Chains A and B, each alone.
Chain A
Amino acid sequence: MAHEHEPGEEHEAGPRHELSHWAKRAYAMRDILVEKGVVTENDIRQQAEFTESKTPANGARLVALSWTDPEFKARFMADPKKVCAEMGIDASTLNEFVILENTDKVRHMVVCTLCSCYPRPILGRPPDWYKSFNYRKRAVNDPRGVMREFGLDLPDDVEVRVHDSTADMRYLVIPARPAGTENLSVEELEKLVTRDSMIGVMDALPSVPE
């Protein structure tokens, strides 16, 4: 059956013996780079391990601390890379890092319509839907419709700001802190901060999942 694949997609879903055009091309380029001595198999393995080791947990911690400590939030929003470095989060591969804060009146949502730019050191690998043509197209021209599919129906008077990260900037959304969470610890709050809430397509969870 005809199906358009994106680069990388087939590494996460589908049998490896049925490699798509893009996967074959990626493996061929990898083989050539190794053969020519540009990179080694070990470099590739180390980079893959580094990438795989990143999860949204870093982002969740930064958000939970921003919720509980206004002074931390101010510093984080002013110089996010410096704050990451202080916390031992390696954000050095991010060219520039911009923090967007959701409020009652303004909501932010992040997309890269050109490819799949994403703050990987903070959030790990992007989900497949983030890289899909469907999301990349509809996030800019129908953001409210996309959010509805994530279970979020916004009133018209809330302003939706879509950020198309087309260049060197990587964006992270601080979702609004859910009501009734005043007594939760930072560790408990981290569990409310989902990856999707930091992309901006949904809210943080209302309570700690069972």
Chain B
Amino acid sequence: MSGAAVFRDGAAVRVKSHFKPGHVRTPFYIKGKTGWVERCYGEFRNPESLGHSGDGLPRVRLYLVGFHQQDVWDGYDAGSKDKVFVDIFEHWLEPAADAGA
């Protein structure tokens, strides 16, 4: 993978909610949730390949994605500014209408 990042800093993104068999690094609780790209970390070997003895190539872009806690957990009532940040690979993200940021 090369070229510019698909998602710019601040872009609204939603984590895909599909199930993929095998090793994945996208936690269940964040699937389907909408947040924003805080920054792109660059390209890394794909853990979904490395986890099954593959070479992890082609490399995939990794983003720091922020979410408002109140958008992630029902009933999160303390600290309305609280956030959770998750490192998510590009193929798990899709554009969303509203970042909520």
Chain A residues with a Cβ under 8 A of chain B: 95-96, 113-114, 140-141, 143-144, 154, 156-169
A164 CB contacts on chain B under 8 angstroms = 27, 30, 84-87
Q: A166-B88, A167-B62, A168-B62 are in contact. Are A143 and B25 (CB under 8 A)?
A: no
Q: Give the complex CA separation of A158 and B73 in angstroms.
A: 19
B47 CB contacts on chain A under 8 angstroms = 167
Q: A140-B29, A166-B27, A167-B44 are in contact. Are A161 and B79 (CB under 8 A)?
A: no
Closest residue of chain B to A144, judged by CB? B78
A158 CB contacts on chain B under 8 angstroms = 79
Q: Give the complex CA separation of A74 and B47 in angstroms.
A: 31
A95 CB contacts on chain B under 8 angstroms = 44
B25 CB contacts on chain A under 8 angstroms = 114, 166-167
Q: How does the 8 Å CB contact mask read for B21-32 relative to A, with 1 for contact and 0 for none?
A: 000011101100
29 residue pairs of the A-B complex, CB under 8 angstroms, read A95-B44, A96-B41, A113-B27, A113-B29, A114-B25, A114-B27, A140-B72, A140-B84, A141-B29, A141-B72, A141-B73, A141-B76, A144-B78, A144-B79, A158-B79, A159-B83, A160-B83, A161-B85, A162-B84, A162-B85, A164-B27, A164-B30, A166-B25, A166-B26, A166-B86, A166-B88, A167-B87, A167-B88, A167-B89
- Contact, CB under 8 Å: B62 / A154: no
